Amino acid sequence: MMRMPPSSHDDAAAMTATNGFASALTTAPPTPVDTPHAAAAARADSSDPSAVMETYARFPLTLVRGKGVWVWDSDGRRHLDCVAGIAVCTLGHSDPVLRRSLCHQLGQLQHVSNLYRIPEQEALARAITSRSCADRVFFCNSGAEANEAAIKLARKHGHRVRGIERPLILTAQASFHGRTLAAVTATGQPKYHEGFEPMVEGFRYFPYNDLAAFEALLAECEAEGPRVAAVLVEPLQGEGGVNPGDRAFFQRVRQLCDERSILLILDEVQVGVGRSGRWWGYEQLGIEPDAFTLAKGLGGGIPIGALAVKATADQLRPGEHASTFGGNPFACRAGLTVIQEIERRDLLAHVNAMAALLQELLGGLVQRHPQLLEGSRGWGLLQGLVLREGGPSAPEVVKAALAEKLLLVPAGARVVRFVPPLVIKPRQLRKAVKRLERALERLA
Ligand code: PLP
């Protein structure tokens, strides 16, 4: 029987963990490789199924191939993928344009050090700044790393601009910012801290979208003078239950930050790069952040993270932050191609049209199953179906959907999340919601 991690990965694994069917997990035996250790690999059997550390509780599903919104498992079954690597595969699986562009890049140059100028990195930084409020970009490899960079930037700002000796960063309860020690401390969910104490000092939490509570926390922290360097917050909480930010809340927070020279940093890792139907989630809120972080959808499946800053917030000087792989030509080519293809295919308009259709389809589902479903919410192609208390949980619904060959992902215990590739077509969305309805009917 598989031992469950004390606190599993943000969503998919947490779902299987809470659902308790991890014991039914099967993992394909490792393919023996041609190394001196091949014999050891060949010994692997069901009692020693995997050499991979058990940090994830996984579904009993092995995906081997993908095309567009479809993925095939090792038994040849085709699944409709409304997870997309959890909001990663922007252009779908095996997109021919991304494939060609990356193959070409592999033939040119894959990696060089940041000791030198990298044209693809320059071009991707320009592609981001010319479409956003930012002036400069630092590249890394994941969302957590992008937030680490943001946290370091915030501390520099606190020291240099506000003259704070021990700066604080305010983040929201139910947030998710990643799994490195500082990013997980920023994450306002105690379950992700358990077992990893002591956490990084200097973080305080407020309830998301709650202005009175935010103002009270800010006043308390600054009672004896400047203490707060930055507010780090998601424009829409993804993992925390698909909670869109409230415009009035964000606009007031923006004002309060301006009054005190506190940085407002938005974590756009899940919602940025077109998923909300705008390039950046902050556009939904009518504000501009001083800095924002990206990852997930930026590379369309190739790992990349980024911290984008306004010139006025750029506190990092040569030698103060770095990444070996960050901004390499291959990952930046992926990011550039994703941005160019979003524009060339007019995907922002497409996302808005698909979001309207998905909301309508989910609305119909809620009407037909009022005993199970409470409603739906979200922006663009990041939509959550909210389940009623007392009925099947999100992990149970996701598991039932898997049996219908539909891939979905929970966002907490009571929200089922749709984050399909941005290229999903109307008939595929209809098919997805039909499959979900069959899954719900089995559970009713
Ligand atoms: N920030 C947000 C809003 C996220 O949703 C996630 C991942 O789910 C992260 C940060 C962490 O990103 P990564 O897993 O690439 O480190």
CA of 148 to the centre of ligand 1 (A): 11
What is the CATH class of 104-344? alpha beta
pLDDT of residue 444: 85
Average pLDDT over residues 89-96: 98
Please tell me the predicted confidence (pLDDT) of residue 284: 98
Would you tell me how many other CB atoms lie within 10 Å of the CB of residue 261?
15
With bands split at pLDDT 50, 70 and 90, how would you rate the model's confidence at 48?
low
Q: What is the dihedral of CA 125, 127, 131, 132, to 10 degrees?
A: -10
268 CB within 6 A, ligand 1: no
Q: Which atom of ligand 1 is nearest to the CA of 145?
A: 16
pLDDT of 32 > 50? The answer is no
Q: What separation in Å is there between the alpha carbon of 145 and the centre of ligand 1?
A: 9
Structure tokens at 407: 């891939």
pLDDT tens digits, 377-413? 999 999 999 999 999 999 999 999 999 999 999 999 9
- Rounded to an integer, the average pLDDT of 341-346 is 98
- Burial class (CB within 10 angstroms; exposed 0-12, middle 13-18, buried 19+) of 251: middle
Does 295 sit in the ligand 1 pocket, CB within 6 Å?
Answer: yes
Alpha carbon of 171 to ligand 1 centroid (Å): 15
Phi/psi at 36 (5° precision): -60, -20
Contacts of 201 (CB under 8 A, 6+ apart): 166
Evaluate if pTM is beyond 0.85. yes
pLDDT higher than threshold 90 for residue 28 = no
Q: Residue 12: its pLDDT value, please?
A: 41
Question: Which DSSP string do the residues of 21-43 spell out, in sequence order?
Answer: GGGG---PPPPP-SSTTHHHHHH
- For residues 315-323, give the mean pLDDT: 96
- Minimum CA distance residue for ligand 1 atom 12: 143
Whether 24 shows a pLDDT value over 70: the answer reads no
Please indicate whether residue 301, judged by its CB atom, sits closer than 6 Å to ligand 1. no
- CA distances (Å), origin 294, targets 72, 274, 297: 29, 11, 8
Terminal-to-terminal C-alpha distance of the chain: 30
Which residues lie across from 385 on neighbouring strands? 376, 416
Nearest CA to ligand 1 atom 13: 143
Span 190-230, pLDDT tens digits: 999 999 999 999 999 999 999 999 999 999 999 999 999 99
Residues facing residue 136 across a β-bridge: 309
For a substitution probing ligand 1, which of 269, 273, 304 has the most ligand atoms within 8 Å of its CB?
Answer: 269
| Pocket residue to mutate for ligand 1, from 151, 270, 298, 409, most atoms within 8 A of Cβ | 270
| Among 158, 423, 394, residue whose Cα is nearest residue 275 | 423
Confidence label for 358 from pLDDT (cuts 50, 70 and 90): very high
The protein residue with its alpha carbon nearest to ligand 1, atom 11, reads 178
% residues pLDDT > 90 (the chain): 88
Residue 1 has pLDDT above 80, yes or no: no
Q: Other CB atoms closer than 10 Å to residue 400's CB: what's the count?
A: 20
DSSP string, 381-406: TEEEEEEPTTS--HHHHHHHHHHTTE
**Residue 31 scores a pLDDT above 90:** no
Cβ of 267 less than 6 Å from ligand 1? yes
Q: Is 292 in the pocket of ligand 1 (CB under 6 A)?
A: no
Residue 13: pLDDT band (50, 70, 90) is very low
CA distance 358 to 366: 12
Mutation to probe ligand 1, out of 296, 304, 409 (largest number of atoms < 8 A from CB)? 296
Least confident stretch, 50-54, 133-137, 257-261, 320-324: 50-54
